[in-house]
Structure 1
Amino acid sequence: MSTGHDHGSKNMSDGRLIWAVIVNIGLTVVQILGGIVSGLLALIADALHNFSDAAALGLALFARRIGRRPADKLMTFGYARAELIAALINLTTLIIVGFYLIIEAVTRFIDPQPVEGWTVVIVAGVALIVDIVTALMVYSGSKKSLNIKAAFLHNVSDALASVGVIVAGIFIILYDLYVADLIMTLVIAAYVIYQGFSIMPRTIRLLMGAVPDDIEFDRIVEALEAVDGVKTIHHVHVWNLHEHERALEAHLVPLGRSLTDFENVKLRVRDMLSVDFSIHHATLETCLEPECEEHLISPHSDMLSNHDQ
């Protein structure tokens, strides 16, 4: 029974994620209290943005812990795909935030509101420091985990928003150039949407069991057929059990007619798959009866039709 592996996530402890959540929640509380006391709506709005970061990080942490659960009768391949589901949720909310920023920027440009330049700059500066600290806490884990990367992008988008607010605030203070707010917001929104859409397709493919991105199906087939003792191959399926573990299922017809021959072929095939394609979970079937010869007529057509399904 296959259990999930915590490959890339080993680079970062859960403690960093927990502290990142605590820091963002702390900033949220302070900003809400400051907004109530000062009557500045911008503070409360930014507090909600930081709360969304805390929620994204909390979801990433929750999914990470669920993903470590061992395989059982309900989930025989383990729970590692929980991290992919969390990544999909966080990427979706990231894209929604991007489009919301565009709508908000255009609305404010059409109907400008009074802006307390220095207050906004100071608040954005504090938020930027917190966002940078949080991003540094989770950066190492974002390199090899789509789940952590999606949460990391939430913080990056928030940090960029803070930078944009600071720059726009300075232009407003010095030149009364309110269009700077619109321009910076649109740039940030474009970046956020681009990042969300660039990562989401891979996340969806992994959830749907597609052939891993860095593996060419034809290359695997050719390598299998080239293994000494393999007569032909069909019913080939390749997919990701989760982000860092691949699996293969194939039906082999060996040149030899004994079970001993097939066992030797299986060992050679598994060694090749492990070394050349990092596939460590392989299920190999064989058929030594005369009816298997029908597969020799056109093995590729049968194999490819199954791959396309």
Structure 2
Amino acid sequence: MGDNHHHHDIDTMGDRRLGWAIAINMVLTLAQVIGGIVSGSLALIADALHNFSDAAALLIAWAARKISRKPPDYFRTFGYKRAEVIAALINLVTLVILGLYLIYEGLWRIYEPQAIEGWTVVIVAGIALVIDVATAILTYSMSKHSMNIRAAFLHNVSDVLASVGVIGAGSLILLYGWYWTDTALTLLIAGYVLYQAATMLPGTIHILMEGAPEDISIEEVIDAMARVEGVASVHHVHLWQLDEHKNALEAHVVIDDFGRSDIIKTALKTELAQRFSILHSTLEFEVDHCPESANS
């Protein structure tokens, strides 16, 4: 009971931190958009949109944490943990659309250059830098224990770098009138956004397609199961990811003695859990002399 209460307190603290991070990032996004429109800086607007995507990622992480705590029911017998994966897919698709839009706007600016107010860019980007650092601090400790939050934290780190870049572009505009740096930075931010999406999207789709964990070889799993005492062979093996942390397996196991099925089952589940971190497994036993097994 004490452990559950402690875990609840940690979750509540994490939700509160995410709430603050979302709120300040939404305010920052609005300030950057206004600053970008007033100054004419596309890079500032690009940074604002990137920051908005990060705020959305934090919001998705917060909502997913809430949903994932719901216990399994008759409609979702595996529970609601995969809500985080679905949310990640939505966020990544949005990143792709955002990146393509920024490239379009950046290329259009090459043909139609626009005057940019450097001081506005530097001031707004400086404020953004402070808020990005504060957000990264809020999520840093949580990122050590959650892949979902770690991704959001890395987004915040990229925001810090983008803000530094925007400050640099604004400074070059003030010092030398190099307006082209704004467009160049916009294209760099767009490229980085697309790179992030391209890196994370395949893994997200892989989980939703019930793919096998990339760090587990199904051949090794079958071999390890077949080596358990009393097991003659293993077939019809299905291995997939329930979510980013939990793996599941189902298989038909041919055994020598049906009277030892409980002992063999315990040994198999222990091997799967300790060696491959497969905590959910469904095993169907068949006797070695069964005609069906012989034909399998």
TM-score bracket for this pair, using the shorter chain length: 0.7 to 0.9
Aligned CA RMSD, in angstroms, stands at 2.9
**More off after superposition, 217-226 vs 190-199:** 190-199
1:29 Cα deviation from its structure 2 partner: 5.3
Q: Does 1:265 align with 2:264?
A: yes
1:143 Cα deviation from its structure 2 partner: 5.2
Given the superposition, is the C-alpha separation of residues 31 and 165 from structure 1 closer, same or farther in structure 2, using an over 3 Å criterion? closer
Report the equivalent of 2:3.
none
Q: Look up the SS of the partner of 1:107 in the other structure.
A: helix
Q: Distance in 1 between matches of 2:32 and 2:103?
A: 23
Report the equivalent of 1:177.
178
Report the equivalent of 2:125.
124
Q: Distance in 1 between matches of 2:180 and 2:39?
A: 21
Per-residue CA deviations over 1:148-168 (Å, capped at 9, x if unaligned) read 345445434443332222111
Report the equivalent of 1:3.
none
Report the equivalent of 1:287.
286
Q: Distance in 2 between matches of 1:92 and 1:142?
A: 23
Report the equivalent of 2:252.
251
1:98-117 alignment runs, 5 A limit = 98-117=99-118
Report the equivalent of 2:273.
274
- TM-score, normalised on structure 1? 0.82
- TM-score, normalised on structure 2? 0.85
Q: Distance in 2 between matches of 1:273 and 1:57?
A: 34
Report the equivalent of 1:87.
88
1:90 Cα deviation from its structure 2 partner: 1.2
Report the equivalent of 2:235.
234
Query: Contact conserved, 1:232 with 1:296, CA < 8 A, in 2?
Result: no
Report the equivalent of 1:302.
none
Q: Look up the SS of the partner of 2:211 in the other structure.
A: coil
Report the equivalent of 1:72.
73
Counterpart of 1:295, as a letter, is S
Q: Which stretches in structure 2 are left out of the alignment for 5+ residues?
A: 1-6
Q: Look up the SS of the partner of 1:237 in the other structure.
A: strand
Counterpart of 2:242, as a letter, is L
1:281 Cα deviation from its structure 2 partner: 1.1
Give me the identity figure in percent: 51
1:188 Cα deviation from its structure 2 partner: 2.2
Q: Distance in 1 between matches of 2:117 and 2:203?
A: 42
Per-residue CA deviations over 1:248-284 (Å, capped at 9, x if unaligned) read 111111111x33x111111111111111111111111
Q: Distance in 2 between matches of 1:77 and 1:222?
A: 27
Query: Contact conserved, 1:247 with 1:281, CA < 8 A, in 2?
Result: yes
1:17 Cα deviation from its structure 2 partner: 0.5
Given the superposition, is the C-alpha separation of residues 83 and 240 from structure 1 closer, same or farther in structure 2, using an over 3 Å criterion? same
1:121 Cα deviation from its structure 2 partner: 0.8
1:35 Cα deviation from its structure 2 partner: 5.2
Q: Distance in 2 between matches of 1:163 and 1:98?
A: 19
Report the equivalent of 1:224.
225
Query: Contact conserved, 2:216 with 2:276, CA < 8 A, in 1?
Result: yes
Counterpart of 2:251, as a letter, is A
Q: Does 1:188 align with 2:189?
A: yes
How many residues in Structure 1 have an aligned counterpart in Structure 2? 286
Q: Which stretches in structure 1 are left out of the alignment for 5+ residues?
A: 1-5, 300-309
Q: Distance in 1 between matches of 2:30 and 2:193?
A: 25
Given the superposition, is the C-alpha separation of residues 100 and 86 from structure 1 closer, same or farther in structure 2, using an over 3 Å criterion? same
1:285 Cα deviation from its structure 2 partner: 0.8
Query: Contact conserved, 1:157 with 1:188, CA < 8 A, in 2?
Result: no
Query: Contact conserved, 1:87 with 1:146, CA < 8 A, in 2?
Result: no
Q: Look up the SS of the partner of 2:242 in the other structure.
A: strand
Report the equivalent of 1:135.
136
Query: Contact conserved, 2:251 with 2:283, CA < 8 A, in 1?
Result: yes
Per-residue CA deviations over 1:201-259 (Å, capped at 9, x if unaligned) read 11111111111011001110111111111011111111112111111111111111x33
